[in-house]
Amino acid sequence: ENMAVIGHLAGGLDYPGQIIGENMADERYNRKNPAVKRILQEVKEMQANPSDDFMSLPLEENIFEWQFAIRGPRDTEFEGGIYHGRIQLPSDYPFKPPSFMLLTPSGRFEINTKICLSISNYHPEH
């Protein structure tokens, strides 16, 4: 796991420097591809507008796989926790939804198992 991208975040949810660069958009990725274009745009937007409660970044070696960290909501049993997870973007993103899974035990979701969200590609009832 490449959790070094996000780090432990104990002191806050800060972006670790300039993550997106020439190495992330090199010849491995066709910048004219709608998915690649959208992903690179979203990384820039997240870096320009950081949140105190969450962050997400693509892996340097695969921009279709992201790691995220989210701070447990205040006044809930999750307050004080920082939860890490993985987002897998399909090759036809944003036209198809991503899949999400948590990597940190929370007591609510199984780790390393896709999560059913209204915006995800995993819905066991279908």
Are the C-beta atoms of residues 13 and 50 closer than 8 Å to each other?
Answer: yes
Domains contained in the chain, CATH given = 3-102 (3.10.110.10)
* SS3 at position 74: coil
Note the pLDDT of residue 8: 42
Note the pLDDT of residue 6: 46
Nearest to 70 by CA among 78, 58, 82, 61: 82
67 or 125: which leads in pLDDT: 67
Among the listed residues 9, 19, 87, 116, the single catalytic one is 116
Note the pLDDT of residue 1: 42
Q: Is 116 a catalytic residue?
A: yes
At residue 12, does pLDDT exceed 70? no
* SS3 at position 98: coil
What is the average pLDDT across 5-22?
45
Digit-coded pLDDT (tens) for 15-38: 444 344 445 555 678 888 999 999
* SS3 at position 65: strand
Digit-coded pLDDT (tens) for 33-88: 999 999 989 988 888 888 889 888 888 888 999 999 999 889 998 888 888 999 99
Note the pLDDT of residue 35: 92
